[in-house]
């Protein structure tokens, strides 16, 4: 999972240099449907130990999801290179409150999840998680 997150950061994050204007910066929002909470926590902890800033819309323990917190723009100094979505209901709130153009790329093994989104939404069937690396 960590390797996949870092690949997504490399391919889909525009926050790597100081010369990029703040208005042009963007990072991927990553949602792993069906992942065990403990596995997601371990993944985030591991990334945090490597110096990455973790942003998932939860400001403190037992807080409600805060879409405004997740909408904080990436800057070179805040070192946000990706953001996590923890739950399907959080994904829906995010998609309903986008402040700029968004695209959804959904990778699925058995069947896609229903996602209500009026923007670009591409569903890509894969056989296993490793296939995502080859596609992106």
Average model confidence (pLDDT) across the chain = 90
Q: For residues 86 and 14, what is the distance between their CA atoms, to the nearest angstrom?
A: 22
Task: Report the pLDDT averaged over residues 70-82.
Answer: 87
Task: Report the pLDDT averaged over residues 84-110.
Answer: 89
Q: In the chain, helix, strand, coil percent, each to 5?
A: 35, 15, 50
- Residue-level pLDDT at 19: 82
- Residue-level pLDDT at 76: 82
Range of the structural domain that residue 13 is part of: 2-135
Q: For residues 129 and 80, what is the distance between their CA atoms, to the nearest angstrom?
A: 24
- Residue-level pLDDT at 54: 93
pLDDT exceeds 80 at position 35: yes
Contact between 37 and 49 under an 8 Å Cβ cutoff? The reply is no
Number of independent structural domains in the chain: 1
């Amino acid at each position: 999972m960590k390797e996949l997150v870092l690949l997504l950061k490399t391919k889909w994050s525009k926050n790597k240099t100081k010369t990029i204007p703040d208005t042009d910066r963007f990072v991927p929002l990553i949602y792993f449907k069906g992942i065990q909470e403990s596995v997601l926590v371990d993944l985030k902890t591991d990334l945090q130990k490597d110096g990455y800033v973790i942003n998932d819309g939860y400001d403190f323990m037992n807080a409600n999801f805060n879409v405004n917190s997740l909408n904080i723009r990436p800057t070179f100094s805040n070192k946000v290179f990706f953001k996590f979505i923890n739950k399907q209901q959080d994904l829906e709130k995010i998609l309903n409150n986008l402040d700029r153009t968004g695209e959804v790329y959904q990778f699925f093994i058995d069947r896609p999840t229903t996602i209500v989104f009026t923007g670009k939404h591409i569903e890509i069937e894969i056989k296993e998680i490793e296939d995502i690396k080859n596609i992106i």
